[in-house]
Amino acid sequence: MSGFLRLELGRSFRDLRYVVLAIAAPVGFYLLFAGIFAGRGASKGQLPAQVEIMVAMAAFGAMWGALSATAPRLARDRETGWLQALRVTPLRPRQILGARILAGVTVALPAIVAVAVTAVLAHHVRLEAWQWAAGISLLWAGTLPFVALGIAIGSLTGSTTAYAITTGLYFALAALGGLWVPPAQFSPALRDVAAALPSYRLADLGWHVAGGSPPLLSDGLILAAWTAGLAGMALTADAHRPRRGRPQSCEPSASDAVSLNEVSKSYGPVRALDKIGLHIGAGSTVALLGPNGAGKSTAIQLLLGLLEADHGSARLFGAIPGQATATGRVGAMLQDTNLMSGVRVGALLRVIRDAYPAPADLQPLIHMTGIGGLLRRQTDQLSVGESQRVRFALAAAGNPQLIVLDEPTVAMDVEAREAFWDVLRAYAAIGKTILFSTHYLDEADAHADRIILLRSGRIIADGSPSQIKAAAGTG
């Protein structure tokens, strides 16, 4: 989990929006408001205006840090299929969620510290050592409701919507929670609204400590209630997603790398697969060939444990799919999935590789996949062909015996496609089993030992490339 946490932190700290809204804006607003209200009485008894504003702006920045590290990033990872891709690695959902929570809390700290340091340097704010320690700690821990809010938003919306909602809530919670205007100046109705909001309760923890008083229990309880409620929303949204199966006792087969046994799958009235049965021996390269809608992707998702079959069963090396992927015996490249955004290729490769119990040697892997020149590049800056080579390196990072590729060359130009197949040929040459889907007959003919032809959810032909071409009348 520590590696994934580093990835999450890295992409947050490199995000210009984080720097502007979590650090620069709170510091700027502090300097503005503290200059305007310098020497005036404060709304919290004897608390100086600069101190009250310092706490409010620290809470303001911490809120954005927590929200920006969770909502838009989680939504984008869902939308681009990155979370789906992670399900065929040993990384468990709870590990990924834990890293997101820790990242959301961690990136809030620089905002709090930046405003506090500015207050000390610009206006000579002085507090006792225990007040600094307790105030910063409470403001930091109090960001948990905003992390939970971000995860709930990211679990329920798309990336564009998540960013818009996050930004709107950020400013609304700040305004209504008394971070810009002291709550004492609100009408009684607005004071009641503010008292119910986590933004006000977060700042109130800091105001009490800065005033030399112990924090209120009610502030902690209301923040805890917000955290629990928002976490419940996120868990409810996640509960409807399919889970990776638990390992079950079954006799592994020494000969079959892949087994689909009378598998059927329907989406409403549409039968995507109809009693599919196939067995693939170890050490072969097999193409799953068929037009769009033939059932290729459904078969691969069932095979990898990403979907549950209506009838029949799938086995990889005699084990259920979840067990095979968790132990690194199987690697996969899924269709319509992108790489994790905002991270360097080398860092991503190391994190995924380190998740496996017996990973591939790093330098030979980099050399074989031809990504040595891409390691310092951001994943967002890769071409289609480069991205596919990196995705293949991630799929091969666990040194799997079987690698599964769903339409791996779609959207590639001719040159990129040839370069990608050079990588695949090198991988097959060391005795690995490869199963790939395609709708190009020439691609299957050139690179597969065996072709399984799918149409309308059924296998209509199965044999060598020459046999399939002869049956199709193209040999």
Closest CA to 145 of 209, 202, 92: 202
pLDDT of residue 238: 63
Structure tokens at 10: 């890295």
Radius of gyration (Cα) for the chain, nearest Å? Answer: 27
pLDDT of residue 3: 86
pLDDT of residue 237: 67
- Which of the residue ranges 123-137, 141-155, 253-267 would you say has the lowest mean pLDDT? 253-267
pLDDT in tens, 461-475: 999 999 888 876 655
What lies within 8 Å, CB to CB, of 142 at 6+ separation is 59, 62, 198, 201, 202, 205, 223
Whole-number average pLDDT of the chain: 89
Structure tokens at 256: 């079959």
Kindly report the number of other CB atoms within 10 A of residue 470's CB atom: 12
Q: Which of 66-70, 197-201, 423-427, 469-473 has the highest mean pLDDT?
A: 197-201
Cα gap 2→329, rounded to integer Å: 23
Q: How confident is the model at residue 252 (pLDDT cuts 50, 70, 90)?
A: very low
pLDDT of residue 473: 62
Cβ pair 100, 1 in contact under 8 A: no
pLDDT of residue 247: 40
User: C-alpha distances in angstroms, 75 versus 72, 146, 161, 170, 343?
Assistant: 5, 16, 9, 17, 16
Q: How confident is the model at residue 400 (pLDDT cuts 50, 70, 90)?
A: very high
- Which of the residue ranges 30-44, 367-381, 410-424 would you say has the lowest mean pLDDT? 30-44
Mean pLDDT value across residues 33-60 = 79
Q: How confident is the model at residue 248 (pLDDT cuts 50, 70, 90)?
A: very low
pLDDT in tens, 195-245: 999 999 999 999 999 999 999 999 999 999 999 999 888 777 665 555 544
Torsion angle defined by CA atoms of residues 351, 353, 354 and 357, in that order, rounded to the nearest 10 degrees: 150
Cβ pair 364, 372 in contact under 8 A: no
What lies within 8 Å, CB to CB, of 144 at 6+ separation is 66, 101, 105, 223, 227
pLDDT of residue 452: 94
Residue 194 pLDDT > 60: yes
pLDDT in tens, 329-383: 999 999 888 999 999 999 999 999 999 999 999 999 998 888 999 999 999 999 9
Residue 433 pLDDT > 50: yes
Share of the chain above pLDDT 70, in %: 93
Transcribe 237-301 into DSSP letters. HHHTS--PPPP------SSEEEEEEEEEEEETTEEEEEEEEEEEETT-EEEEE--TTSSHHHHHH
Cα gap 316→297, rounded to integer Å: 17
pLDDT in tens, 316-331: 998 888 888 888 899 9
Q: How confident is the model at residue 181 (pLDDT cuts 50, 70, 90)?
A: confident
* 3-class DSSP state of 229: helix
Q: How confident is the model at residue 413 (pLDDT cuts 50, 70, 90)?
A: confident
Q: What residues does 338 pair with on adjacent strands?
A: none
Count of H-run helices and E-run strands, the chain: 22, 9
Share of the chain above pLDDT 90, in %: 65
Residue 43 pLDDT > 90: no
**Long-range pairs of 414-423 with CB within 8 A, sequence gap ≥ 24:** 415/385, 416/383, 416/384, 416/385, 416/386, 416/388, 417/385, 417/443, 419/370, 419/385, 419/389, 420/385, 420/388, 420/389, 420/392, 421/446, 421/447, 422/370, 423/368, 423/369, 423/370, 423/389, 423/392
Cβ pair 115, 34 in contact under 8 A: no
256: left (phi over 0), alpha (psi -120 to 50) or beta: beta
